[in-house]
Amino acid sequence: MQRASVISLFCEDIREEKSGQDILIGIMPDNIDMRRLPSALPKLGIYIRVNLDVPNQPKSVSAKIQNIDGSETQLQSWDKAVIDKAFADSKSNSMPLVGLILKAVIGPFPVTQAGKLVSKVVIDGDEYIGGVINIIGASATASALPASQSPGAS
């Protein structure tokens, strides 16, 4: 069995209900066309779910975003006590997986250039990619269109 799986959803906002459930608003597609760069997204929500194999409890789990320019922003590191409790709960409930969830909303989120925004989770030093958004700038969009459909074409 695979040691871990990671999925990241990028959205406009994340709201927590009184029941403890989450609502993801405006889930973003893989490619976002931003006509004017530099610019900013009013909000960028990142919902990361990590599923771990019960027999393989890690010592460390953290999440980060690799920005378009290659720099990385740390989002969260799970404390050992949180990891221990999640594994104990899964074992006592006979669950085959242990789940860890991260919710982050950043706003405004500056976008200075076209490129890829990558969500990563690091488990005991091993990186897992959870999701990627490709920011497409106006020049890339214009060059991909036939001349008759390019912005400003008559």
103-132: pLDDT as tens digits? 999 989 889 899 999 999 999 999 999 999
In a domain, 88, yes or no: yes
Question: What was the pLDDT predicted at 28?
Answer: 96
In a domain, 11, yes or no: yes
In a domain, 35, yes or no: yes
Q: What is the mean pLDDT of residues 76-103?
A: 94
In a domain, 154, yes or no: no
Q: Using CA atoms, how far apart are residues 114 and 144, in angstroms rounded to an integer?
A: 14
18-61: pLDDT as tens digits? 998 999 999 999 999 988 888 889 999 999 999 999 888 999 99
For residue 110, whether the previous peptide bond is cis, meaning omega lies within 30 degrees of 0, is no
Q: What is the pTM of this model?
A: 0.82
| Torsion-angle region of 94 (φ positive above 0: left; ψ -120 to 50: alpha; else: beta) | left
In a domain, 153, yes or no: no
Residues with Cβ within 8 Å of 111's Cβ and at least 6 positions away in sequence, in order, are 34, 37, 38, 39, 40, 41, 68, 135
Instruction: Give the residue numbers spanning the domain of 98.
Output: 4-145
In a domain, 67, yes or no: yes
Q: Using CA atoms, how far apart are residues 2 and 24, in angstroms rounded to an integer?
A: 27
Nearest CA-CA partner of 32 in 145, 146, 130, 140:
140
| Torsion-angle region of 3 (φ positive above 0: left; ψ -120 to 50: alpha; else: beta) | alpha
